[in-house]
Homo-oligomer: A and B are copies of this chain.
Amino acid sequence: MDNATLVAIASIITAGLTIALGSIGPALGEGRAVATALSSLAQQPDAATTITRTLFVGLAMIESIAIYCFVVSMILIFANPFWNHMISQASGK
């Protein structure tokens, strides 16, 4: 059963690091976008509608990158094909 343990450890460590490292870029990017949106609002309050709409589209695209990482992290924990293969083999053995 050693093989399954190794796969489990690799999955645990990778799942954590994926979302941890993958959160740095999107969080900084969103922080920058929100910050500029706020200073733009202060500078040109009349364009609030256009600015807010463009901000939300942009945040959605940046958030999508963070969600790619979250999805890979969840797949590695709850729907890991390598782990399933190991378990099915171990039980069928």
Residues of A with Cβ closer than 8 Å to B? 1-48, 50-52, 54-59, 61-66, 68-70, 72-73, 75-78, 80-83, 85-87, 89
Pick 6 A–B contacts, CB within 8 A, sort by A.
Answer: A14-B15, A23-B66, A30-B61, A30-B65, A33-B38, A56-B57
CA of A37 to CA of B3, assembled, Å: 51
Copies in the complex: 14
**A62 CB to closest chain B CB, in angstroms?**
5
Q: Closest B-chain residue to A21, C-beta based?
A: B20
Q: Is the CB of B18 within 8 A of A19?
A: yes
Chain B hits for A48, CB < 8 A: 47, 50
**A-B pairs with lowest CB-CB distance, top 4:** A29-B31, A34-B58, A25-B27, A40-B42
